[in-house]
Amino acid sequence: MKKTLTCIECPLGCEIEVTMNGDEIVSIVGNGCLRGKAYAENEVTCPKRVVTSTVRAENGALVPVKTDAPVKKSEMFEIMQKINAVKVKLPVKIGDILLENISDGANLIATGNEE
């Protein structure tokens, strides 16, 4: 069976064709780089995404956040619920862990500085 994917690793958006035999990957064609190969391998077995959002600081300001590793696409909405329950104390610096192990070992980290 063949699956056609659009790679999301970079703006080029390579079209990748993955040939499968059951659960086994037979070939990956069309990727422009190794990141694309890894993306395609994940995408046909367990698709993952980095989730980005915001959390509230005590003073009402919003702090931008992301998962520091891709998390299961199928769990994005559960992860969003966890993110929306987070309240942070200021100051926050880029890279600060705001919630440990939000999913599969990935942490929720700040992507903005807020005084």
Partner 1 sequence: MKKNYDIVIIGGGPAGLAAAVAAYDNGVKDILILEREERLGGILNQCIHNGFGLTRFKESLSGPEYAARFIDEVQKRQIEVCTQTTVLALSKEKQVTVINSAQGVFTVQAKSVVLAMGCRERSRGALNVAGSRPAGIYSAGTAQKYVNIKGYLPGKRVVILGSGDIGLIMARRMTLEGAKVLAVCEIMPYSSGLKRNIAQCLDDFGIPLYLSHTITKIEGEKRVTGVVVSKVDENKRPIAGTEMHFDCDTVLFSVGLIPENELTKMAGIELSPKTRGAVVYQNRETDTDGVFACGNVLQVHDLVDFVSEEAEIAGKAAAQYVLNGAKVREEISVNTGNNISYVLPQKIDRNAGGQVKLFFRVTNTFKNCTITATSGGEVIAKRKKRIAVPGEMETLLLTEKTLAGINDEIVVSLEVDE
| Cα 40 → chain centroid | 14
Nearer to partner 1, 4 or 22 (CB): 4
73 binds partner 1 (CB under 8 A): yes
- 83, 52 Cβ separation under 8 angstroms: no
- Could you give the CA distance from residue 89 to residue 115 in angstroms, rounded to a whole number? 10
Residues 40-59 that bind partner 1 (CB under 8 A): 49-54, 56
- Choose the binding region for partner 1 from 22-30, 60-68, 97-105 (rule: CB under 8 A): 60-68
- Residue 113's CB: how many other CB atoms inside 10 A? 13
CA-closest candidate to residue 36, choices 70, 9, 73: 9
Report the residue from 62, 85, 90, 97 that binds partner 1 according to the rule CB under 8 A: 62
Count residues near partner 1 (CB under 8 A): 29
Shortest distance in whole angstroms from residue 26 CB to partner 1: 22
